[in-house]
Amino acid sequence: MRRPCTAAGRTRHIAGSSASWSCRRRNGLAKGSRDDYDHHAAIACGFILRDGRTLGELQVDRMSVPLVQRLVETLATGREAGMIQPALPPRPSTANHVLRYLHRLFAWGIRMGHCRTNPASGVRSVRERAQFKMPQPHAFLAVLEFAKARAALPLHSKGSVPPYMPAVMVLAYNARLRGIEVTDLSDADALREGVRCSRRKGSRDNITAWNEELRWAWTWLREYRAERLKAHARPLLLRPEQRVLLVTQTGTPLARSTLKTAWQRLITTAIAEGVIEESERFSLHGLKHRGITDTRGTRAHKQDAAGHVTPQMTDRYDHELQVVQPPMLPKGEDLAFSDDALESPETA
């Protein structure tokens, strides 16, 4: 009988070690980090081996570098279904996340005396493809109009989407924000010049000037927040930086995971209703790509607008094809190496 991937397993097994580490590290990590570790721990422990056992059932001492390397490569390239092993889609990013998780897990195991070596050390990570999933302009506008129509339906009714989704799309595109950066916005970020964008992953903060779309989104979210706070008798906090702009139906700050779930429901429904094709599917983060690409000006202007530190970061987000002039042969008098141009002043 298989042992479940829980703390009930003995710590000399992968599942038990994973659960023990999770319990000890949980209090010192942010919720997003805890969720990330739990997610990739479940993927690693639930991986089906050739003999039908899960990776979580293996003894820690049975783990080796070649075994972890095969695990990472299988998760990255995927596999077809067999007699025992189920099919797996190719997920390079997930493979690298699982590798990093196992490396931390076994490093902790060495310190705690659960294992003598780190079998994830020396394993080569896989190359991830750049999948930005930027929407085409017509697909973006179609989904935005669809979101506005479905957001107007009664909450929790069939086909409805969270009412804040249209405003989130507008903010992500116009301010060139990640989804989590949208959830970070508060009243303190509404300045006279525009929206202050506090960016993550090493990007510089900046201010995006107001336009009609940004004013509409900001005003709508503030009115929705006031309505939800009043409906649930919640106080409005005094300090502007504590008044989060994006809230749930109950008036509490919207979590990143909740926004991701709401986005997936919106885009899946849009595809099912024929608003866009499956091939036109795009991510919420793709709106940042779209916003940077649509920014008018030079590459330097786009880099400043996105808050990127290096031009290489902007290269990843800017997908605009530059219009350049065709070459033109110089005329006789414009030739740099004509006899007249090469004639020295002494001989002239």
Q: Give kind and range of the element (H or E) at residue 242.
A: none
Domain with 219 in it: what CATH number? Answer: 1.10.443.10
Q: Residue 112: its pLDDT value, please? A: 84
Range of the domain at 57: 14-112
Q: Are residues 276 and 150 in the same domain?
A: yes
Among residues 344, 122, 197, 161, which one has the least CA distance to residue 270? 161
pLDDT at 324: 86
Q: How many domains does the chain have?
A: 2
Whether residue 246 is found in the same domain as residue 108: no
**pLDDT attached to residue 334:** 63
Query: Partners of 13 in the beta sheet?
Result: 59
Answer whether residue 331 is part of any domain.
Answer: no
pLDDT along the chain (348 residues), means of 10: 38 64 64 80 90 87 90 92 88 91 89 87 83 88 97 90 97 97 97 96 94 98 97 94 96 93 94 94 95 95 95 91 87 62 56
Output the pLDDT for position 227.
Answer: 96
If asked whether residues 142 and 283 sit together in one domain, one would say: yes
Measured distance CA(309)–CA(298) in Å, rounded: 16
DSSP single-letter state for residue 196: E
- Residues 312, 239, single domain; the answer is yes
Same domain, yes or no: 154 and 289:
yes
Query: How far apart are alpha carbons 243 and 288 in whole angstroms?
Result: 24
For residues 237 and 280, state if they share a domain.
Answer: yes
Q: Are residues 303 and 216 in the same domain?
A: yes
Q: Does residue 8 lie in a domain region?
A: no
Look at the pTM and tell me if it is higher than 0.75. no
Buried b (16+ CB within 10 A) or exposed e, 224-256: bbeebbeeeeeeeeeeeeebbbbbbeebebbbb
C-alpha atoms less than 13 angstroms from C-alpha of 81 in its C-beta half-sphere? 2
- pLDDT value at position 10? 42
Q: Token pair for residue 191?
A: 């300045």
Cα–Cα distance, 171 to 215 (Å, whole number): 10
Of the CA atoms within 13 Å of residue 231, those in its CB half-sphere come to 12
Domain identity same for 210 and 297 = yes
Residue type, 226: A
Which of these three, 112, 146, 172, is where a domain ends? 112
- Distance of alpha carbon 128 from alpha carbon 100, whole angstroms: 14
In this structure, the answer to whether residues 107 and 142 fall within a common structural domain is no
- String of DSSP letters for 33-57: HHHHHHHHHHHHHT-B-TTS-BGGG
Q: Do residues 39 and 170 both lie within one domain?
A: no
CA distance 190 to 31: 27
